[in-house]
Amino acid sequence: MEASAGLSRIGLAGLAVMGQNLALNIAEKGFPISVYNRTTSKVDETIERAKSEGDLPLTGHYSPRDFVLSLQKPRSVIILVKAGTPVDQTISTLSEYMEEGDTIIDGGNEWYENTERRIRETEQKGILYLGMGVSGGEEGARNGPSMMPGGSLTAYKNIEEIVKKVAAQVEDGPCVTYIGEGGSGNFVKMVHNGIEYGDMQLISEAYDVLKNVGGLSNEELARIFDEWNKGELESFLVEITADIFKVKDDLSEGELVDKILDKTGMKGTGKWTVQQAAELSVAAPTIAASLDCRYLSGLKEERENAEAILKEAGMVDQVGPVRSGIDKKRLIDDVRQALYASKICSYAQGMNLLRAKSNEKGWGLDLGEMARIWKGGCIIRAVFLDRIKQAYQRNPQLASLVVDPEFAKEMVQRQAAWRRVVGLAVQAGISTPGMCASLAYFDTYRRARLPANLVQAQRDLFGAHTYERIDRPGAFHTEWTKLARQSNFK
């Protein structure tokens, strides 16, 4: 693409932390960029950073018109503002000065249906549109995120050269790919965040068991997580968890982690993931359990009251007696295996949700490629994503990661340790909802026959919903109550 003299290759509007860092990343990769923000001080701040971080080719603009007109055609503008109405307002402001064939890319965490609506709306003006999930936080944005663009393929082609250089780089390419049509990019990012919820919950449960059942200190925990990060659990979240345990509190004695209030915040993508799983009839119990835990963590006062009332009612500490007979070395190894097996189930649920939505919408998502672009730059980046990629390359029709021959072998090898950890936690009164949900998912999925026959019988008795039989075709209905009264059972 020929650069017109003095015009920028791309523009970015919205200079909060993510926007600033992504703009500087683009400039550092050699693409002249124009930036704009409604609050002018943010523009000044970004210009200053561009100067101090290597005199990067970045120019600031203080009006939407100047900003848009500073871009070479066909123009491409990334917007990074708060999801919802602010996005619509920004599109409306910028599109006044844009022309047919120009592109708008929304890099926020947006609900996928909003993106599909905006694709239709901008299309009427001849403007192309992409909804692009960006993962990796501020560090990823600055040094190489994982990016998930969906929408207009032509729009993607307009920025492909830029995003491929700006994305995190792994051995098999940049962590970006054209996801598919419509809101597919936002949907994939939403599921990524749902998997992230599951991952964080499972790690916090591993910590809880090791600390409270195993009696491990923060120093020991830091060592263990560092060790784990050198093996099969190597991942961004395990690495940062090790770092968290090492930080001393500068306001009082001990480590900072122990002084943090146990109430979790959230932005909504985990909730969307669970809602979509329900809509699509896809089981995602690990992700749902992690969401429930965030809700329960918010009930801090209720939990404190519950602890006091149940103690009064005779609840005794279960941890002490369980801990007295613990083999610490074995517990650490068991927890490692339980965490790994639970994670496979969490990723399996996320991948199945992606496949179900792709089938519904005709997106044609390549699940192996999704795993590949998550290998670098993003929050759930982990060494075993490469193995997930290979599993889908071996069999693109793979029903679940649990039945991939490689992963199946690992689940079977780790299930004894997994059951020991969950059993110990239950005995000790330590909740491990993520690990329990993963194990229940595994145990339900691997059984050829479930007690659902009884549920169907109940449904038929009270609602005449009919049932199928295992030995002949067709739908059947039985007068259960009448026949039960006539039976010889006493």
Q: Catalytic residue numbers?
A: 189, 196
Cis? peptide before 74, omega within 30° of 0 = yes
Cα 176 to Cα 20, 114, 161, 366, distances in angstroms: 20, 22, 11, 13
Phi, psi (deg, nearest 5) at residue 390: -65, -35
Residues with Cβ within 8 Å of 31's Cβ and at least 6 positions away in sequence, in order, are: 9, 10, 57, 162, 165
Let me know if 328 is exposed, middle or buried by CB neighbors in 10 A (0-12, 13-18, 19+): middle
Torsion-angle region of residue 391: left (phi > 0), alpha (psi -120 to 50) or beta? alpha
CB atoms closer than 10 angstroms to residue 156: 22
Tokens representing 325 are 């007979």
Phi, psi (deg, nearest 5) at residue 77: -125, 125
Assess contact for 209 and 421: CB atoms under 8 A.
Answer: yes
Assess contact for 269 and 277: CB atoms under 8 A.
Answer: no
Which residue matches tokens 């909060």? 16
Residues with Cβ within 8 Å of 40's Cβ and at least 6 positions away in sequence, in order, are: 62
> What one-character-per-residue DSSP string does 191-211 give?
HHHHHHHHHHHHHHHHHHIII
Tokens representing 5 are 């003299």
Residues with Cβ within 8 Å of 203's Cβ and at least 6 positions away in sequence, in order, are: 237, 238, 241, 339
Distance CA 422, CA 206 (A): 10
Among 115, 169, 106, smallest CA distance to 134 is for 106
Distance CA 215, CA 326 (A): 9
Assess contact for 35 and 58: CB atoms under 8 A.
Answer: yes
Among 118, 69, 111, smallest CA distance to 89 is for 118
Tokens representing 292 are 């429930």
Tokens representing 448 are 């050829």
Assess contact for 284 and 277: CB atoms under 8 A.
Answer: yes
Distance CA 316, CA 433 (A): 21
